Amino acid sequence: MSALKIICGLAGMALVAMSPAPASAHSLDDILSAKKLVVGINPNLPPLGRFNDKNEIEGFDVDVATKLSQMLGVDVSLVQVNSADRVPFLVTGKADIVLGALTRTPDRAKVIDFSLPIQTEAISAMTLKDKPFKTLADLDSADVHLIEVRGTTPVEYVKTHMPKAQVTLFDNYPDAVRALFQGRGDAIVDVVDYIGPYTKTYKTETRIILDSKPDVDYDCIGVAHGNDALKSWLNTAVFQLQTNGFMATTYKKWFGIDMVYPIPVTPYF
């Protein structure tokens, strides 16, 4: 989990603690009666959510929310949230469900419930296909030149786990990915899923180097604490979307690559 996500999560928990008594969450029956599913989406977290040239929110989370509403037979209503808003919007009844890279954690589970995971986040590395590296440990060498984005958590990861490597910092991901394809570095260490969309314009094939013991964050759909019927329905729906290929196809559509650390699909939940 990134430092930014931890800070935002703590801020969200603080907002909940200071808020007045929460409004009642909409139950599954309420949603079916109103024929509307209200979904919290972060439009500033591409490719999960972003504004397109029509000023409409689109992305992986939007496609998932739209599909869920279709399965329920109701309309979908998107409300904008930021990272700190996600938990408070559920607790106060401003959203029926919330997406936006909502990592399942014990602290959050004290105040909200989670669906089955819909995506994962963990450190890996992206390199060009013809590079010789097989493991992340291979990158810890003075002969290796890593490309990283200034101010991100993976920079600290590299300092700790790959101290021998040379590192060049860039201000943003498009510039960093361009440098990789130009041969100005050997690999990028990051939550590589989010780099995928920037590789679409390049023809050279890439390869992902996995961590042998990854610290995986499981990102889920959030639902109000105790809203059991809605949570049970979400789990059933997510399982179906995982097994019928919708999740994998939609993920690759937006991220440009397959999920680096796939979610084990289980019928038990």
> How many residues can be counted in the chain?
269
pTM (predicted TM-score): 0.89
Structure tokens at 99: 């997406």
- What would the pLDDT profile of 186-204 be if each residue is shown by its tens digit? 999 999 999 999 999 999 9
Label residue 25 by pLDDT band (50, 70, 90): confident
Residue 26, pLDDT score: 94
- Put residue 100 in one of left, alpha, beta given phi > 0 → left and psi -120 to 50 → alpha: left
**Beta-strand pair 50-51/57-58:** antiparallel
Separation CA 234–CA 51 (nearest Å): 26
Residue 73, pLDDT score: 98
Residue 10, pLDDT score: 47
- What would the pLDDT profile of 142-178 be if each residue is shown by its tens digit? 999 999 999 999 999 999 999 999 999 999 999 999 9
